């Protein structure tokens, strides 16, 4: 555990990619296979649950620290992280137990779910007594399933590739997907040749960068495909050995959420992988994303939900065909295969090829671009006809060209402290618009979009202009105006304003505007009529 | 208490009306006694100042060579209008003092800023028995518990050695007054050279001229060859951690000494390579120890986690209350306030 918690704090300390890779590589070259598998579990965002109640952990820690409950709360508010707060408050290490490795601690934690409260408490206290503050911090994160670290998957893959000599695309493929440390071991996951039991594995998604320069700089228009950039859920549909799997870009297996697509297992041959967008869909047309959202959070899907939020699948790439990995082939080729495949089958219903936009000059595209939103698209995707399907976010062959967000000028009215890195500053804001009676009605929360310097200035203002406190929320004197951008808009009965906006963020601080000059709720309603549901 | 308190919180200082003397006023007054030379306690514009001998050169450098300044040693009582004053070591920085105020058998002590651990440069804190103690609370939460300083010096030495091996300079940031002298006393150079940012250099020269045993530092200048910085320790105020000054150093690893480094969020926000938890303020345990040692029944809690710490003291059976002052700053922004200090006071030669 000492070794792993050191790795954690070293990774935490640096923001240099190369340093991170070399730290990880070093770990993958020296740790035991058991520990590596657990480390990989954590670095790929898998967080095993030990059925532990955070509130109870807190109570036990308060008891051991011998402080009153309010003082624990006060400390927690200043640290911003429960696991860290506990590590800072517990008395220094008292026992001299032999060091346990990361995997041994996971074995230890694995016993917790079947234990009664009394025994759980005993186990936790013994663990805390045996560990240093730095280790307690990491241990608490494992315990409460809140382990997070700033290393991207591609970085882990790079380090792993350097340590094992396996190619990055193979590794990326292998560490994605449906495995857990109980179902496999490090050798099978990373080194084993046999991929037969891995039917469910998706390929890593190829992600596009926003286009930076003028599109004319991309070269000749004939070298490019243009498609609408759909506003839905990026997914891979996999059919292998008579089984179907749906993966979303968040690497979540979402097969059960979309029963409408299950029929594809009958229609696609073994060894087919499609890259596609699941969109809200009716009468042969895409609908706003908000409709889909009603399905995403649901545990069980009722007939009613299915009929109220119908879906379609817009297919734009073919990654595997008859068991063959096509990713190295140009998209022009992949697309022609796809056309044969999908156009030949009249029974595909809501499964369609994402159409190509016809254009002969860049000006054609420029002219069409503003229409995106009314077609329920976010803009264009531009793909080089000769380009392969790459791994992760890469520049060069794919670009996204999005329409400008919808914007509105709103007043900051509530603030809350951030967490982690931002625990001491007010960084989470709620924004409001004027209603017809001259009252400010909250409509969106936004966390990001300001520079560190601006956050400092806003924080300074907030600390001097707090009007009221409600728990962690501070009501702030309505004075600062910000331009808020968002990608979509829909009616919502759950919001006080009656409107929900999608991906709200701060575009800029309107220092030139007073609160009185901010926009009205009516102007937001106008946008709803124009673009919303 | 029906009669007027011996010391009062007037909104511009800690005031002794009986003697007509202000302690650490944040507005210009007639007579000011200064606990120590940090700029949130020693402010500009008062007519007459009184402080410990060792504060004199710094106060003159910061407030002006021509200020009216009288100095005394520790434990040397003097009387003003029947009130007896004396200064006692606070262990915070060189020249820092607690102010003991006595009138007709009643004793109040103003702590200024203090720490209990003897840093080997500032004379060590002495508990002064009193009825009323006015305590700082900069780190008045139980999450702040310091490790012994030797351990931190060891961490700094290891970090420096590792950087030297990689051909990098080690840029160590901390407040010019206090932290720098501790590092110079506690961290062993092992042959590596010591360089300094202008603010640190100027202060070090002032202290050396005043007769303090401190090593000579090499000033970093614009025209010097960066190559000689490899493997050295560069001392700088917190403000040096970003901007052109840092970029001129060549390959460098950055470290920061402060009690705030105990919290991961505070560390990460500074975008430094390494945080060292080293403070010139008492930690949670030492605040409690110090207060207990005075035997005081009444405690006023100033700058820091005032509300939490005074509540805690009340629950321990003391008559404690929080007081608004302009020392430090509001609990959270103190870091920034102190950071602004060295550079506003001293011209950087860079």
pLDDT at B286 over 90: yes
pLDDT at A320 over 60: yes
Residue A220, classed as helix, strand or coil, is: coil
Residue pair B289/B123 in contact (Cβ under 8 Å)? The answer is no
* Structural domains of chain B in order of their starting residue, each with its CATH number: 8-144+281-335 (3.60.15.10), 149-276 (3.40.50)
Instruction: Mark yes or no for CB contact B267/A13 under 8 Å.
Output: yes
Q: What is the mean pLDDT of residues B28-52?
A: 94
pLDDT of residue B194: 93
pLDDT at A169 over 70: no
A74 contact residues in B (CB cutoff 8 A): 141, 305, 308
Q: What is the nearest CA distance from B158 to chain A, expressed in angstroms?
A: 15
Of A242, A243, A241, A236, nearest to A274 by C-alpha is A236
Instruction: Mark yes or no for CB contact B141/A15 under 8 Å.
Output: no
pLDDT digits (tens, 9 = 90+) for A7-60: 999 998 887 889 999 999 999 999 999 999 999 999 988 888 898 999 999 999
* CA pair distance B194, A45, nearest whole angstrom: 44
pLDDT band for position A150 (50/70/90)?
confident
Residue A358 DSSP label: P
Assess B263–A contact: CB distance below 8 Å, yes or no: yes
Q: What is the mean pLDDT of residues B269-278?
A: 86
ipTM at complex level: 0.90
Closest-CA residue of chain B to A66 = B142
Strand blocks (E) in A370-425: 377-384, 392-393, 398-402, 406-417
Assess B314–A contact: CB distance below 8 Å, yes or no: no
pLDDT of residue A404: 86
Phi, psi of A317 (to 5 degrees): -155, 155
* Structural domains of chain A in order of their starting residue, each with its CATH number: 2-143 (1.10.3260.10), 206-402 (3.30.470.30), 406-531 (2.40.50.140)
Average pLDDT over chain B reads 89
Instruction: Mark yes or no for CB contact B143/A89 under 8 Å.
Output: yes
pLDDT of residue A220: 94
pLDDT digits (tens, 9 = 90+) for A152-166: 877 898 999 999 988
pLDDT at B336 over 60: no
Residue B197 DSSP label: -
pLDDT of residue B218: 93
pLDDT digits (tens, 9 = 90+) for B175-191: 999 999 999 999 987 77
Of B330, B264, B275, B340, nearest to B302 by C-alpha is B330
B-facing residues of A in 184-213 (CB < 8 A) are none
pLDDT of residue A290: 77
pLDDT of residue B344: 32
pLDDT digits (tens, 9 = 90+) for A241-250: 888 989 888 6
Q: What is the mean pLDDT of residues B40-61?
A: 94
Q: What is the mean pLDDT of residues B85-104?
A: 97
The CA dihedral of A376, A378, A379, A384, to the nearest 10 degrees, is: -110
pLDDT band for position B343 (50/70/90)?
very low
pLDDT at B340 over 50: no
Closest-CA residue of chain A to B253 = A14
pLDDT band for position B29 (50/70/90)?
very high
The residue with greater pLDDT, A255 or A481, is A481
B143 contact residues in A (CB cutoff 8 A): 75, 78-79, 85, 88-89
pLDDT at B244 over 90: no
Assess B266–A contact: CB distance below 8 Å, yes or no: yes
Instruction: Mark yes or no for CB contact A88/B267 under 8 Å.
Output: no
pLDDT band for position A251 (50/70/90)?
low
Q: What is the nearest CA distance from B304 to chain A, expressed in angstroms?
A: 12
Q: What is the mean pLDDT of residues A276-304?
A: 82
Q: How many CB pairs under 8 A join A and B?
A: 66
Assess B109–A contact: CB distance below 8 Å, yes or no: no
Closest-CA residue of chain B to A15 = B271
Percent of chain B with pLDDT over 70: 92
pLDDT digits (tens, 9 = 90+) for A77-115: 889 899 999 999 999 877 777 889 999 999 999 999 999
| Range A107-112, long-range pairs (CB < 8 A, 24+ positions) | A109/A48, A109/A50, A109/A142, A109/A143, A110/A50, A112/A50, A112/A51, A112/A52
Residue B266 has its nearest CB partner, among A85, A424, A460, at: A424
Q: What is the nearest CA distance from A232 to chain B, expressed in angstroms?
A: 35
A-facing residues of B in 50-89 (CB < 8 A) are none
For residue A281, the cross-strand partners are: A286
pLDDT at A400 over 70: yes
* CA pair distance B265, B332, nearest whole angstrom: 12
pLDDT band for position B192 (50/70/90)?
confident
pLDDT band for position A335 (50/70/90)?
very high
* CA pair distance A49, A90, nearest whole angstrom: 23
Of B57, B61, B349, nearest to B219 by C-alpha is B349
Assess A15–B contact: CB distance below 8 Å, yes or no: yes
A75 contact residues in B (CB cutoff 8 A): 141-143
Residue B264 has its nearest CB partner, among A15, A84, A89, at: A84
Assess A70–B contact: CB distance below 8 Å, yes or no: yes
């Amino acid at each position: 555990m000492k070794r792993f918690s050191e790795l954690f704090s070293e990774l935490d300390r640096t923001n240099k990619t190369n340093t991170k890779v070399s730290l990880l590589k070093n770990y993958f070259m020296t740790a035991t296979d058991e520990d590596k598998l657990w480390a990989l579990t954590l670095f790929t965002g898998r967080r095993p649950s030990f059925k532990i109640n955070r509130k109870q952990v807190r109570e036990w820690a308060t008891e051991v620290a011998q402080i009153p409950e309010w003082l624990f709360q006060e400390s927690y508010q200043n640290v911003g992280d429960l696991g860290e707060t506990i590590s800072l408050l517990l008395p220094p290490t008292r026992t001299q137990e032999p060091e346990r490795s990361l995997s041994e601690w996971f074995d230890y934690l694995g016993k917790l779910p079947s234990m009664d409260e009394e025994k759980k408490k005993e186990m936790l206290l013994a663990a805390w007594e045996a560990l240093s503050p730095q280790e307690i911090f990491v241990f608490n994160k494992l315990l409460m399933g809140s382990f997070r670290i700033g290393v991207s998957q591609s970085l882990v893959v790079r380090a792993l590739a350097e340590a094992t000599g396996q190619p990055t695309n193979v590794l990326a493929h292998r560490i994605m997907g449906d495995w857990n440390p109980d179902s496999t071991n490090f050798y099978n996951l990373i080194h084993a040749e046999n991929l037969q039991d891995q039917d469910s594995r998706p390929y890593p998604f190829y992600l596009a960068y926003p286009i930076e320069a003028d599109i004319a700089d991309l070269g000749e228009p004939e070298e490019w495909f243009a498609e609408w950039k759909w506003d839905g859920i990026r997914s891979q549909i996999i059919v292998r050995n008579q089984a179907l799997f749906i993966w979303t870009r968040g690497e979540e297996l979402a097969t059960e959420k979309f029963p409408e697509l299950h029929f594809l297992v009958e229609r696609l041959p073994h060894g087919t992988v499609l890259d596609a967008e699941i969109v809200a869909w009716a009468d042969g047309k895409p609908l706003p994303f908000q409709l889909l959202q009603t399905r995403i959070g649901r545990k069980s899907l009722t007939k009613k939900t299915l009929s109220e939020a119908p879906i379609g699948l817009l297919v734009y790439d073919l990654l595997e065909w008859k068991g063959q990995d096509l990713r190295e082939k140009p998209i022009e080729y992949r697309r022609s295969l796809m056309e044969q495949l999908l156009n030949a089958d009249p029974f595909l219903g809501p499964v369609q090829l994402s159409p190509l936009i016809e254009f002969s000059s860049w000006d054609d595209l420029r002219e069409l671009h503003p229409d995106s939103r009314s077609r329920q698209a976010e803009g264009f995707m531009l793909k080089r006809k000769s380009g392969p399907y790459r791994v992760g976010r890469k520049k060069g062959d794919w670009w996204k060209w999005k329409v400008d967000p919808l914007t509105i000028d709103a007043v900051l009215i509530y603030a809350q402290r951030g967490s982690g890195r931002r625990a001491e500053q007010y960084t989470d804001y709620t924004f409001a618009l004027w209603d017809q009676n001259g009252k400010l009605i909250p409509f969106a929360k936004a966390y990001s979009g300001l520079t560190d310097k601006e956050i400092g200035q806003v924080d300074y203002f907030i600390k001097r202009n707090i009007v009221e406190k409600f728990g962690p929320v501070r009501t702030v004197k309505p004075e600062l105006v910000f331009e808020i951008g968002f990608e979509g808009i829909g009616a919502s009965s759950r919001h006080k304003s009656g409107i929900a906006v999608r991906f709200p963020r701060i575009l800029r601080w309107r220092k030139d505007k007073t609160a009185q000059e901010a926009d009205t709720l009516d102007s937001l309603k106008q946008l709803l009529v124009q673009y919303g549901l | 208490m029906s009669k007027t308190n011996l010391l009062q919180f007037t909104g511009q200082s800690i005031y002794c009306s009986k003697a007509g003397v202000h302690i650490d006023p944040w507005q210009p007054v007639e007579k000011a006694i200064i606990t120590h030379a940090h700029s949130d306690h020693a402010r500009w514009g008062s007519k007459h100042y009184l402080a410990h001998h060792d504060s004199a050169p710094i106060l003159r450098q910061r407030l002006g060579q021509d200020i009216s300044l009288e100095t005394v040693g520790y434990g040397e009582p003097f009387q003003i209008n029947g009130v007896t004053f004396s200064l006692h070591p606070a262990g915070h920085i060189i020249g820092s003092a607690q102010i003991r105020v006595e009138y007709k058998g009643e004793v109040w002590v103003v702590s200024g800023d203090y720490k209990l651990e003897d840093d080997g440069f500032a004379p060590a804190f002495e508990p002064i028995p009193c009825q009323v103690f006015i305590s700082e609370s900069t780190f008045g939460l139980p999450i702040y518990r310091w490790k012994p300083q030797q351990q931190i010096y060891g961490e700094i030495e290891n970090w420096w050695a590792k950087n030297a091996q990689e051909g990098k300079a080690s840029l160590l940031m901390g407040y010019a007054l206090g932290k720098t002298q501790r590092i110079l006393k506690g961290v062993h150079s092992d042959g590596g050279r010591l360089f300094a940012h202008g603010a640190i250099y100027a202060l070090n020269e002032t202290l050396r001229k005043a007769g303090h045993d401190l090593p000579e530092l090499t000033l970093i200048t614009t025209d010097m060859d960066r190559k000689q910085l490899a493997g050295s320790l560069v001392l700088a105020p917190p403000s040096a951690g970003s901007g052109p000054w840092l970029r001129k150093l060549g390959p460098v690893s950055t470290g920061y000494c402060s009690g705030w480094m105990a919290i991961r969020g505070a560390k990460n926000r500074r975008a430094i390579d390494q945080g060292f938890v080293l403070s010139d303020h008492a930690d949670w345990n030492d605040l409690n120890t110090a207060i207990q040692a005075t035997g005081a029944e009444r405690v006023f809690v100033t700058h820091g986690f005032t509300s939490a710490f005074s509540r805690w003291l009340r629950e321990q059976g003391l008559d404690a209350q929080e007081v608004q002052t302009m020392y430090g700053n509001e609990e959270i922004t103190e870091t920034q306030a102190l950071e602004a200090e060295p550079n506003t006071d001293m011209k950087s030669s860079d």
